[in-house]
A and B are shown apart, each in its own frame.
Chain A
Amino acid sequence: MSAVATLRRSRRGGQPASRRLRPWYKNGSLVAGLIIVGIMVLLAVLAPLISPDNPLHQNLDQALQGPSGTHWLGTDKLGRDVLSRLLYGARVDLKIGFLAVLIPFVVGSILGAIAGYYGGWIDIIIMRVVDVFYAFPLYLLVIALVFVLGSGERSIYLAIALVSWVSYCKIVRGEVIVARRQEYVQAARLGGLKNMRVLARHVGPNVVSQAITYAMSDIIMDIMVIVTLGYLGLGITPPTAEWGSMISDAQEFITTLWWMAVLPGIAVVITGLGLSLIGDGLGDLLSPERRR
């Protein structure tokens, strides 16, 4: 260890210093999470190349078969290859899950930053709206919104955006309220910088880490929402391969072809585990002082 590092370590004090100086690739959770999610994304991207069959290809003569050489995981009630549908399902569920996070992340964070920074009546109004949205259980509001907006991908993005901005708003607002009192923000304001500039250049970068960490669990939440909608028959319209509707289709045959209901769920769990680990690792890396 170099002298500078030792010095820095002692100045920051305490035992956790070693953790703080650890580079990202030595953060076990983060690396494990990135590998898991990376593999899932890779499988999704390569689905057209590695799938044994077209996921939409029906073959009623060979419906509801067990695993075999041609169909490793058997076939569903329309004779479609389950493995191919599982791989193609990843394309749909992961894509929507990852993309759906963007709008609520941006909109929620901006509104939260404004509420926290300006305070007063802007804060009161924004937070009362947040309270109203919090009163609706997530699934209730998403289901109702997808119902009125009509099924399909676009409605899912919209419904998720309308529902999940509130969490980012709350998190960022809390962070901004703390950051406002910090000396570097006071200094920037006393230095005559405009509010928007202080917010964007000084406060923003320092409060965004919490929102990014939260975004990982939010992606999990979004994937849950998508598969749940699919299970309820309100999500992505058939015959597109999607994990939730695969589970719902399989429930009929659960006494015999049980793996058809089990596997899509396991795919969700593995993805969720990867994202949780990334979230944990990021939390560790971005705000070490918060760990207990």
Chain B
Amino acid sequence: MLGRLKFVPMRILQAVPVAFGVTVVVFLLVHLIPGNPAESILGAQATPARVAALSKQMGLDESLPQQYLHFLSNLAHGNLGQSYTYQTSVLSLVLQRVPVTLTLVLYSVVLMLIISVPLSAWAASRPGGARDHAVRVVPLVGLGMPQFWVGVMLLLVFAVGFKWFPVGGYGQTFSQHLWYLFLPALTLAISVSPVIIRSLRSSMLNVLESDYVATARSKGAGGWSLFSGHVLRNAVIPAVSIVGVNVGYLVGGTLVIEQVFAIPGLGSLLIGSIQARDFPSVQAVALFVAVFVVVVGVLTDIVYTLLDPRVDLTRRIEV
């Protein structure tokens, strides 16, 4: 068992250059600003003196590599800069918002599994049948729905129409959080489910055609016991990596959906900071989210190996 985890240090090492690359991209974001970044960040409040002061503070008079090294060493000290609007450290701002966004992401993963596992099983149980076609049409429509619009529609029906859920906000207690976050989490789940259903369906079909299912069938297993004992267990393994791969998409969606439902998470911080031209906060959110996605990628590979004895990532050949 543990022998198979030999790849873990290697996999983490592989993630290091990617994480560095992420810091480079986030660092370079400032330099993509056309013209003088300091002037552009100050916007209407730009006076020559202020521009000069901010340029100095941002270290814009140094060479690019020097600036990057500065950026890295600040980062290593946990210093992501001061927010222009809130006048506090950006790190504390981000850390305040992380639990909200993380809850939303986990919540939507749970709802997504509740939606997609039964539907894909239902479709896979009669490949080529009417129900299979029905489930396969869903992604065609689903992939073309803008996430935020799905959110607005759910809001229209369940919050404005039926008044079952609040139109927005986050609530105070944990049970309130679950109630307030239900529609946003459902929005995300609906928009990711088409992809998940498609992959789960085909992995279930693979399992159903396998020899061990045929053996189980010949021994008289069928119905629920066959499904839960043989099919689901084996189909879940690819599902883990499918979910892992889509975490980035889910987090990206969260950033937008928070706007629809006025949820005080990282997305609201991002958009609010953009409107206030608060550059350090934008950078911090970008950095934080990207590093999160890299870490989830590593964790997905580890869980994947633990679940499936056949996977050996030490000998993985990339194709």
Contacts and interface: CB of A to CB of B under 8 A. Distances in A.
Contacts, number: 149
A268 B149 contact: yes
B140 A280 contact: yes
B248 interface: yes
Interface in B163-220: 202, 205
Interface in A129-157: 129, 131-141, 143-145, 147-150
Contact of A262 (B146, B156, B253): B156
Contact of A147 (B17, B274, B289): B274
Interface string A265-289: 1001111110111001000000000
B140 A268 contact: no
Nearest to B202: A292
Nearest to B247: A137
Interface in A22-49: none
A216 to B, nearest CB: 11
Contacts of A118: none
Contact of A232 (B24, B249, B271): B271
Size category of the B interface is: 35 or more
A132 B274 contact: no
A138 B281 CA distance: 18
A52 interface: no
A220 B143 contact: yes
Contact of B152 (A145, A147, A177, A254): A254
B102 interface: no
Size category of the A interface is: 35 or more
Contact of B153 (A148, A232, A265, A280): A265
A247 B145 contact: no
A164 interface: no
Nearest to A123: B318
A136 B22 CA distance: 8
A224 B22 contact: no
A174 interface: yes
A272 B144 contact: yes
A128 interface: yes
A140 B255 contact: yes
A217 interface: yes
A137 B248 contact: yes
A258 B147 CA distance: 18
Given A143-B270, A255-B160, A269 B145 contact: yes
Contacts of B249: 137-138
Interface of B: 17-19, 21-22, 24-25, 29-30, 32-34, 139-141, 143-149, 152-153, 155-156, 160, 202, 205, 248-249, 251-253, 255-256, 259-260, 270-271, 274-275, 282, 285-286, 289-291, 293-294, 297, 319
8 tightest A-B contacts by CB?
A272-B144, A137-B252, A132-B21, A265-B149, A139-B252, A137-B248, A276-B140, A148-B32
